[in-house]
């Protein structure tokens, strides 16, 4: 991991009492101090990912009846029949999926303009981090026209496959979101008071916490910061080596400790850190990171819909300590404004 300079949280959000820092790539892309290098940093949260989280939040919690009984991303593709059409009236298509499909198509159309003028400096500046990097590489290639055509085809394929290879599979009863739903489902009240059985300390909830390095004493750090020591964790608590190489370790995103975080606690006792990155949060789970084409895991999907129930891009905390807004912001509102 690089040792890029860290900046105080107050540079991206209002000031907070915790004297804690964030690495430059964790900031919003619109922040003048944002600095991201795709050759040394983990993948940027792309504009379409921010938008899909917003789309899910706008839809709110999907009903259990909208979940498919099962779905195989390996046996379905854009040429297949819509799985909700196959399921019939018993399983209405979730608004979250409808919203995301619309945004994916619009993003695909938007990026056509980028590819048409791919070697223009102003276009490169507007492109997502990975794509901007590829445009610069292709400029120096021996056969740039062939290279840009190949990149365009790969990018188009990624967008077209996105619902079929990733998003649809999240909305199933036999796995994914079905694992996170309790036996019944109620919405929030108009006052915002948490009454949803989908989001409580017996199923899914978010905790404000502090991560420290493995050589530190959590109780000593807690005393220095005047916080409850039960919400201070060593990094190794979430360094699940038995889950394989795909799962992200907090050290891959965090450059200095102590670090404020949100810990997601989910049904069946799984716990993952949601790490601040490129204006949003990235779940560390192996599903999200084992395949580079996946834009969302079930934890991010659930978090997005729960945030939407509060009409906010911020995750609601029902346990733990107060953490900076930047640590609770699931998606960057500035990153979704490319829509016409």
Straight-line distance from the first to the last Cα atom of the chain, in angstroms, rounded to the nearest whole number: 37
User: Phi then psi for 272, rounded to 5 degrees?
Assistant: -140, 145
Structure confidence by residue, pLDDT tens digits, 91-121: 899 999 999 999 999 999 999 999 999 999 9
Q: Please state, in angstroms and rounded to a whole number, the distance separating the CA atoms of residues 165 and 145.
A: 29
Q: What pLDDT score was predicted for residue 304?
A: 96
Q: State yes or no: pLDDT of 2 exceeds 80.
A: no
* Residue 264: φ, ψ to 5°: -90, 125
Q: What pLDDT sits at residue 202?
A: 79
> Position of tokens 């290098």?
37
pLDDT tens digits, one per residue of 215-224: 999 999 999 9
Q: Predicted confidence band at 14 (pLDDT cuts at 50, 70, 90)?
A: very low
Query: Which of 192-196, 198-202, 328-332 shows the lowest mean pLDDT across its residues?
Result: 192-196
Distant-in-sequence, close-in-space partners of 205: CB < 8 Å, separation ≥ 6: 199, 265, 318, 319
For residues 212-238, give the mean pLDDT.
Answer: 94
258 upstream amide cis, omega within 30 of 0: yes
**Contact between 200 and 207 (Cβ < 8 Å):** no
Q: What is the mean pLDDT of residues 18-33?
A: 83
Token pair 């223009």 in the structure block, residue: 120
When pLDDT is averaged across residues 303-324 and rounded to a whole number, the result is 93
3-state DSSP call for residue 87? helix
Confidence of residue 247 (pLDDT cuts 50, 70, 90): confident
Tell me, rounded to whole angstroms, the distance of Cα 192 from its chain centroid: 23
pLDDT tens by residue, 263-280: 999 988 899 999 999 999
Would you state the pLDDT for residue 194? 36
Q: What is the mean pLDDT of residues 203-230?
A: 93
Place 16 in a pLDDT band, splitting at 50, 70 and 90.
very low
Tell me, letter by letter, the H, E, C secondary structure of 33-91.
CCCCCCCCCCCCCCHHHHHHHHHHHHHCCCCHHHCECCCCCCCCCCCCCCHHHHHHHHC
Return the pLDDT at 190. 33
The reported pLDDT for the residue numbered 200 is: 80
Measured CA to CA, the distance from residue 63 to residue 239 in angstroms comes to 33
Query: Looking at per-residue confidence, does 29 or 201 come out higher?
Result: 29
Residues 6+ away with beta carbon under 8 Å from 261? 208, 209, 210, 211, 250, 273, 274, 275, 276, 323, 327
Tens digit of each residue's pLDDT (9 = 90 or more) over 31-80: 999 999 999 999 999 999 999 999 999 999 998 889 999 999 999 999 99
Q: Is the pLDDT of residue 239 over 90?
A: no
How confident is the model over 172-193, as a mean pLDDT?
A: 65
Tokens of 29: 């892309």
Question: In this predicted model, what pLDDT tens digit does every residue of 140-182 receive, in sequence order?
Answer: 999 999 999 999 999 999 999 999 999 999 999 988 999 998 7
Q: How confident is the model at residue 185 (pLDDT cuts 50, 70, 90)?
A: very low
Q: Is the pTM of this model over 0.85?
A: yes
Give pLDDT, residue 186: 43
- The pLDDT score that the predictor gives to residue 292 is 87
> What is the structure's pLDDT at 9?
47
- At which residue do the structure tokens 């990912």 appear? 49
Instruction: List all residues 6 or more positions away from 72 whose beta carbon is below 8 Å from its beta carbon.
Output: 169
State the average pLDDT for the chain.
88
How far is 153 from 146, CA to CA, in rounded Å? 11
pLDDT of residue 269: 84
3-state secondary structure of 3: coil
Query: CA of 155: how far to CAs of 112, 128, 151, 165, 201, in Å?
Result: 10, 12, 6, 14, 40
What pLDDT is attached to residue 189?
A: 34
- Tens digit of pLDDT for each residue in 283-312? 999 999 989 899 999 999 999 999 998 899
Question: How confident is the model at residue 261, as a pLDDT?
Answer: 95
């Amino acid at each position: 991991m690089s040792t890029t300079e860290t900046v105080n949280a107050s540079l991206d959000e209002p000031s907070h009492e915790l004297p804690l820092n964030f690495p430059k790539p964790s900031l919003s892309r619109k922040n003048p101090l944002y600095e991201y290098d795709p050759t040394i940093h983990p993948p940027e949260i792309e504009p379409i990912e921010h938008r899909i989280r917003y789309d899910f939040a706008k839809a709110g919690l999907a009903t259990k009846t909208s979940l498919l009984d099962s779905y195989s991303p390996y046996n379905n593709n854009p040429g297949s029949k819509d799985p909700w059409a196959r399921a019939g009236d018993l399983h209405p298509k979730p608004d979250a999926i409808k919203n995301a499909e619309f945004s994916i198509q619009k993003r695909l159309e938007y990026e056509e303009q980028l590819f048409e003028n791919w070697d223009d400096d102003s276009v490169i500046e507007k492109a997502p981090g990975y794509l901007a990097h590829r445009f610069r590489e292709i400029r120096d290639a021996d056969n740039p026209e062939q290279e840009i055509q190949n990149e365009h085809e790969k990018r188009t394929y990624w967008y077209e496959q996105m619902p079929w290879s990733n998003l649809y599979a999240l909305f199933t009863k036999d796995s994914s979101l079905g694992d996170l739903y309790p036996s019944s489902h109620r919405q929030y009240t108009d006052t915002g008071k948490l009454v949803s059985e989908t989001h409580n300390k017996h199923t899914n909830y978010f905790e404000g916490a502090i991560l420290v390095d493995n050589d530190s004493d959590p109780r000593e750090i807690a005393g220095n910061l005047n916080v409850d020591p039960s919400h201070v964790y060593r990094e190794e608590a979430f360094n699940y080596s038995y889950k394989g190489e795909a799962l992200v370790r907090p050290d891959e995103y965090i450059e200095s400790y102590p670090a404020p975080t949100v810990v997601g606690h989910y049904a069946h006792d799984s716990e993952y850190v949601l790490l601040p990155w490129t204006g949003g949060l990235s779940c560390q789970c192996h599903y999200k990171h084992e395949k580079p084409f996946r834009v969302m895991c079930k934890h991010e999907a659930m978090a997005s819909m729960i945030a939407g129930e509060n009409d906010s891009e911020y995750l609601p905390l029902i346990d733990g300590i107060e953490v900076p807004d930047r640590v609770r912001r699931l998606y960057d509102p500035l990153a979704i404004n490319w829509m016409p």
